[in-house]
Structure 1
Amino acid sequence: MRERIDLHLNEAPTLKTPVLIAGLPDSGRVAKIVLDQLVKTLKATPLGYLYSDYLPPRLLLKPDGTADLMKHEIFYWINKDSGPDLVLYTGDAQPILPEGAFRLSEAVVKLAEKLGVETVVTVGAFITGKIAEHPQVYGAASELVLVKELEELGVKIIDSGAVTWMNGLIPGLAKVRNLKGLFLSGETSGFMID
């Protein structure tokens, strides 16, 4: 019987105090845009990918005429300076059902642990319903000390509501496994791709 999460990983290098940054499509596609930009700008190296029954049943058509199933991708970036290395996780879509969101989020957190990650960050949208002239960054964290650090960086703290699907579950499950979890969100109207 086929696994519901089919993970394919290349051999990972030894990573230096890696931080995982994850983002999957959300309102305004903020999370996907952020991760795609990080992968491109950093010239991150592919680490692997996964296919899953939990993702929408779609075949994505590419500009060159080829096609591929929806998938999630994992990359890494080696920091040449003294800062942490990065593990980057993104994908074509969020899971369809809550069970899939939990199972895929658990798989991400387990992979993070395997790679030596101690801090997990997800990114997403903070929907305001209006177009902001100067969009703000909002955030939340698993520990008060991290909340204080976010405040010192000028991040507006989210103190009510919920972060949904994988962008919320990944840092939540990281906290359960004694990892540090943060969520950062870019302000968006929610009306268009930002």
Structure 2
Amino acid sequence: MGAGLINGAVPALLPVWGDRTGTGVSTSVLLLSAMQLGSLLVQWPLGRLSDRTDRRWVIVGCLAGVAAFSAVLAAGPPKGDIPLFGIFMLLGGVALSFYGICAAHAADHVPPSGMTRLASGMLFIWAVGAATGPFLAAQSIEIAGPAGLFLFCAVVTGGVAAFVLWRMTRRAPVPREHRPGFVNLPATSPSIGQIDPRSR
């Protein structure tokens, strides 16, 4: 849900943020590409790290990164193209990657026969977030100005991180030898569960 809320809101409203901050709509579109590039560069290293440790710590790290980079952007866009594109690459690296790690964590707790049902359930919850995120973030922009977009992201990810940390006090991690390896699952279709090698 958290992944859907922020990753639905930012692509939809980043041009609005760019226009209101003076960054420019065309630059905002390039910033979306920078986010995708960041995700491309870090999703597999983060996934491999999650294979070697409690995945929940990696999820918390990603959430903390989103909250921190969002707080920086809420304070105002950095001066200069390189710092601006750099922070959006970092933001995309953690914001667009943690859904796959959440999917891997969930897969640790279900048998292979349940992967399709798991993927479809996660997709539904993600879609609910993605559908409501732009509306909620738009209300935040109306209240707080352009900073509201990234204040919204910081609040959402901070809340999800607190939830994950609480869950870590309630349940021990799955032993490493009982966990399948990370497979990046995009939030696209429940058919992903059918082609996921862990479902065999």
TM-score class normalised by the smaller sequence: under 0.3
- Larger strand share, 1 or 2: 1
Higher normalized helix content (fraction of residues): 2
Provide TM-score, normalisation by structure 2: 0.22
